[in-house]
Structure 1
Amino acid sequence: MNLKQISAAVIFAAMPVLASAQAMEPVIQVSGKGSFSVVPDAYTLTFVMEEKGETVSKLNTQMQSDMKSVLKFLLDNGIEEKHVQSMQVNLNPYYESTPQGREQRGFVLSREIQVTDTDINNYDRIIDGALSRGIDRMQGFQFIASEQNNAYEKALINAVKDAKLRAGLLAEELGVKTGKVIAVSESGNSYPMPVMRMEMSAKADSFSSAMPGEQVVEARVNVSFAIDE
């Protein structure tokens, strides 16, 4: 390759870099954070049922009987069928220590029932009734807001407003103006966080023993604005 060919190759290779540099616009990039408070109006929890024995068929027969009793109780007490999930099943061998070492003595069959109830004052009766019908333990109890998706959308709108405000403040300080939006992205959201603040009604008849307080749903965005000088 001669000198002219080498020079042409260098110029050709540099063209994309120069074109990219010319295409870049000065921008103001900011992060916005928004939040929205909600009052939980429902609860969710998971019941766990276990059976231990030598044969899987006997375990399954016993569990099916208890499961029908629990499910009937839940539906009879206001839990909607769409809010009950009972398909999670686990089967594992169990072992015991003997003079000859660990020996398998049977199986442990477990099944989970996930429940969501929109009657927040009903949780104690539901738990007591389920435990008296063969449930061995419960886990994952928490108060939730049934309109959580709507709350996040409102938090996201507040995050965008916050980003616009921050960009405007920076632009004003720099003596420029914000232009069109070059790029925008969500940088994540957070699960509802409890707020240690509760409001009690002065009326005794509106008082509830279930007082979950408020929860805050948060959203974050990254926005790049063009600079109009």
Structure 2
Amino acid sequence: MRLAGLFLVLLCSSQVFAFDSDDRFIQVSGEASKSVSPDQMHWNISISNEGVDLQSVAKQHSQISKQTLSSLKDILANDSKLQSQNMNLRQRTQWKNGKNINTGFIASSRISFTLNDVELYQQLWSSLAGIKGVQINNVSYDVSNREALEQEVQLTALTNAKAKAERMAAALGQKIGKPLSISEAGQAGPMPLMKTRAMSAAVESEELVSGQKSIELGEIKIRGHVAVSFELK
């Protein structure tokens, strides 16, 4: 009991020292944002087909994949980061009479890439819409110079945080000194455009292919958020 009491006294003492009157500081947050027009589109598409014969399903999937990649390469630039992934060949089963029965096979794969010229969006969509078994899973807007924009916004947020600290300190007849700590919140990623639309069933696909409909790129907002502590003089 005596040791426990001594530990409690020491703990309380450390808390008192942590809030010593000499440790005078002000902690503020700073925010900034910048709206920019997107110049990139990140795409993720899937290819799938099925049938009763394993070899036929695998061969057909290979043909669809080659056709899709060929169409993409005809439109995309060399720096589009074209990548095939998640290739899968599995059984198709059906539950019947208390057990799973094999009814065929399903082949699937995904392709991701970046479109660096957003003006080619309609041409790309039209090309993919003509390939049976292709589905668009996700398309998102982005900017090619995101890192530079994030650094610019971050510096503006820091400047705003300092100005806020100066105003608050001045209102109390104080001045701020050197910064004691700086932290930042995460940045927003690319803005989603669409999710999981089977092109064979989408009315929008027909409008895009026929040229009756276009897209609105809008703007992406790059945000910066920091927290800064300054000493008080």
**Interval of TM-score (by shorter of Structure 1 and Structure 2):** 0.7 to 0.9
Alignment of 1:25 with 2:23, yes or no, is: yes
In structure 2, do the counterparts of structure 1 residues 63 and 21 end up closer, same or farther at CA, with 3 Å as the change threshold?
same
Q: 1:24 to 1:127 in 2, by over 3 A?
A: farther
Counterpart position of 2:76 = 78
CA RMSD of superposed structures (Å) = 3.2
Q: 1:193 to 1:36 in 2, by over 3 A?
A: farther
Residue in structure 2 matched with residue 47 of structure 1 by the alignment: 45
Partner of residue 199, structure 2: none
In structure 1, runs of 5+ residues without a counterpart are 195-208
1:179 aligns with 2:184: no
Amino acid at match of 2:142: I
> What TM-score, normalized by structure 2, do the two folds share?
0.76
Q: Give the distance between the partners of 1:24 and 1:54, measured in 2 at CA.
A: 79
- Secondary structure of the 2:106 match is strand
The residue aligned with 2:88 is 90
- The percent of aligned pairs where both chains have the same amino acid is 25
Deviation of the 1:211 alpha carbon: 4.1
Query: Could you say what secondary structure the match of 1:190 adopts?
Result: coil
Q: How has the CA–CA distance of structure 1 residues 12 and 68 changed in structure 2, closer, same or farther, with 3 Å as cutoff? A: closer
TM-score, L = length of structure 1: 0.77
Partner of 2:187, secondary structure, is: strand
Partner of 2:155: 157
What do residues 144-180 of structure 1 show as CA deviations (whole Å, max 9, x unaligned)?
A: 2122222222121121111111111111111100111
Deviation at 1:86?
A: 1.0
Amino acid at match of 1:30: V
Q: Distance in 2 between matches of 1:12 and 1:97?
A: 68
Amino acid corresponding to residue 163 of structure 2 in structure 1? L
Q: Structure 2: which amino acid aligns with 1:108?
A: I
* Pairwise CA distance, 1:135: 4.1
Residue 140 of structure 1 pairs with residue 145 of structure 2:
no
Please tell me whether residue 214 in structure 1 is matched to residue 219 in structure 2.
yes
Q: CA deviation at 1:185?
A: 0.5
2:77 alignment partner, SS class: coil
Residue 226 of structure 1 corresponds to which residue in structure 2? Answer: 231
1:115 CA drift (Å) = 2.1
3-state secondary structure, aligned to 2:185: strand
State whether residues 155 and 219 of structure 1, in contact with CA within 8 Å, keep that contact through their aligned partners in structure 2: yes
Query: Could you list the per-position Cα deviations for residues 180-216 of structure 1 after superposition, in whole angstroms to 9, with x for gaps in the alignment?
Result: 111110123224669xxxxxxxxxxxxxx65412211
Point out the structure with max Rg over C-alpha. 1
Give the aligned length: 212
What SS does structure 2 have at the residue aligned with 1:70?
A: helix
